[in-house]
């Protein structure tokens, strides 16, 4: 019956396609056009006049260069920490006994569903000058450290938000692991470390890679965390776009930065995906 009605799939997808055309494709196109529109601080956007000025501005101005660089290194650092913490955590959880295994997995993943504003606020309580972390430092006789409104707070909170995105793919690839192979390596005299390095690690590598790609992409475009924990001074790309739109009112420049972020994100994700597919096609299926 599915072959006799060739139009059915289009009817079924039409409502969703309509929504995605009107609220995704068209607005993105409009924004792309806007980013080439000339802008005058007094009269605003000049429709019909086109310029490359905004892109040139972003690529040559040290201010924007600095923000892109900071966003890049913070996202990179967050990705590395997520690999270093998330991958072992997923492995440890996968080796736990029956009730704890799923309970603790949920404890690690459930914060994913709590609003990022709440989590950012929680970290501002913990990392503030009078916060719990500095309180503990004082208790053991150390100097308090300024963390709130610095890179430290942003990185810590981003790791908290992103860690589940690393644990999930690593966990998924660990589920596919054949424990017989692990036991075979051990019974043939390999040390636990060698087994981990030569048997387990190669098989979870696709999971780690796809996790890092998600983490990097989300961290690079994060808005609420740098907005609330970075303060006014510490800008990242997303908070700068917000400023251009709602404070400076220079929409074309904001649109140009947003599109650079989008393209950079898509390039990282898609090229990484290509790499994954090429090298790990078998293990991904």
Partner 1 sequence: MRQNGPLALLFNALVITFMLAPLLVVCLVAFTPENTLSLPTTEFSLRWFEAVFVHPDFVQSFWNSLWLALASATLATLLAVPAGMAITRYNFPGRDFLNGLFLSPLIIPHLVLGVALLRLFALVGGGGSFGWLVLAHALIITPYTLRLVVAALVGFDRSAEQAALSLGASQTQMFIRVTLPMILPGVTGGWLLAFINSFDEVTMSIFVTSPSTITLPVRMYMYATESIDPLMAAVSALMVAVTALAMLILDRVYGLDRVLVGR
Minimum CB separation of residue 124 from partner 1 in Å reads 7
Q: How many CB atoms within 10 Å of residue 86?
A: 28
Cα–Cα distance between 105 and 279 in angstroms, integer?
A: 29
Q: Which residue in 147, 224, 234, 253 binds partner 1 (CB under 8 A)?
A: 224
The verdict on 83 binding partner 1 (CB under 8 A) reads: no
Which pair of tokens denotes residue 223?
Answer: 């808005």
The verdict on 129 binding partner 1 (CB under 8 A) reads: no
Nearer CB in complex with partner 1: 7/42: 7
Contact segment (CB under 8 A) with partner 1 among 56-64, 72-80, 106-114, 277-285 equals: 106-114
Which pair of tokens denotes residue 120?
Answer: 């950012």
Which pair of tokens denotes residue 63?
Answer: 């201010």
Contact segment (CB under 8 A) with partner 1 among 63-71, 102-110, 203-211, 275-283 equals: 102-110
Which pair of tokens denotes residue 59?
Answer: 């690529």
Give the length of the chain. Answer: 285
Which residues 236-255 are close enough to bind partner 1 by CB under 8 A? 238, 241-242, 245-246, 251, 254-255
Question: What is the DSSP code string of 140-155?
Answer: TTPPP---TTSHHHHH
Contact segment (CB under 8 A) with partner 1 among 53-61, 111-119, 136-144, 199-207 equals: 111-119
The verdict on 114 binding partner 1 (CB under 8 A) reads: yes
* Number of amino acids touching partner 1 (CB under 8 A): 92
Which pair of tokens denotes residue 50?
Answer: 């086109």
Nearest to 210 by CA among 266, 146, 276: 276
> What are the start-end ranges of the H helices in 188-236?
192-195, 201-220, 224-229
Q: Is 47 helix (H, G, I), strand (E, B) or coil?
A: strand
Cα–Cα distance between 266 and 21 in angstroms, integer?
A: 19
Nearer CB in complex with partner 1: 156/280: 156
Nearer CB in complex with partner 1: 77/109: 109
The verdict on 104 binding partner 1 (CB under 8 A) reads: yes
The verdict on 31 binding partner 1 (CB under 8 A) reads: yes
Name residue, tokens 């690839």: 173
DSSP letter at 112 equals G
The verdict on 164 binding partner 1 (CB under 8 A) reads: yes
Q: Residue 39 pairs with which residues in a beta bridge?
A: 45
The verdict on 2 binding partner 1 (CB under 8 A) reads: yes
Contact segment (CB under 8 A) with partner 1 among 21-29, 72-80, 200-208, 275-283 equals: 21-29
Contact segment (CB under 8 A) with partner 1 among 49-57, 62-70, 197-205, 265-273 equals: 265-273
Cα–Cα distance between 143 and 140 in angstroms, integer?
A: 9
Nearer CB in complex with partner 1: 108/205: 108
The verdict on 275 binding partner 1 (CB under 8 A) reads: no
Cα–Cα distance between 119 and 262 in angstroms, integer?
A: 25
Q: Which residue in 186, 196, 205, 276 binds partner 1 (CB under 8 A)?
A: 186
Nearer CB in complex with partner 1: 78/228: 228
Q: Residue 38 pairs with which residues in a beta bridge?
A: 46
Which pair of tokens denotes residue 125?
Answer: 């309580």
Q: Which residue in 51, 203, 265, 283 binds partner 1 (CB under 8 A)?
A: 265
């Amino acid at each position: 019956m599915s072959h006799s009605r060739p139009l059915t799939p289009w009817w079924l997808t039409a409502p969703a396609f309509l929504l995605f055309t009107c609220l995704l494709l068209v607005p993105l196109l409009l924004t792309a056009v806007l980013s080439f529109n000339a802008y005058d601080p007094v009269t605003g956007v000049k429709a019909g006049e086109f310029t490359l000025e905004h892109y040139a501005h972003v690529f040559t101005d040290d201010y924007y260069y600095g923000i892109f660089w900071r966003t890049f290194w913070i996202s990179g650092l967050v990705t590395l920490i997520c690999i270093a913490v998330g991958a072992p955590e997923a492995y440890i959880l996968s080796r736990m006994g029956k009730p704890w295994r799923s309970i603790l997995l949920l404890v690690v993943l459930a914060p994913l569903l709590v609003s990022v504003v709440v989590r950012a606020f929680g970290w501002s309580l913990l990392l503030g000058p009078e916060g719990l972390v500095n309180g503990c430092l004082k208790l053991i006789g150390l100097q308090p450290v300024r963390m709130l409104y610095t890179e430290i707070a942003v990185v810590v909170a981003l790791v908290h938000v992103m860690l589940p995105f690393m644990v999930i793919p690593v966990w998924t690839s660990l589920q596919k692991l054949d424990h017989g192979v692990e036991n075979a390596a051990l019974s043939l005299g390999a040390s636990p470390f060698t087994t981990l390095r030569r048997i387990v690690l190669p098989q979870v590598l696709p999971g780690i890679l796809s996790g890092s790609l998600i983490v990097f992409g989300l961290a690079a475009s994060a808005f609420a965390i740098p907005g609330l924990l970075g303060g006014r001074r510490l800008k990242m790309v997303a908070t700068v776009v917000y400023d251009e739109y709602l404070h400076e009112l220079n929409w074309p420049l904001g649109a140009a930065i947003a599109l650079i972020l989008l393209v950079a994100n898509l390039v990282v994700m898609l090229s990484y995906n290509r790499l994954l597919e090429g090298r790990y096609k078998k293990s991904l299926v």
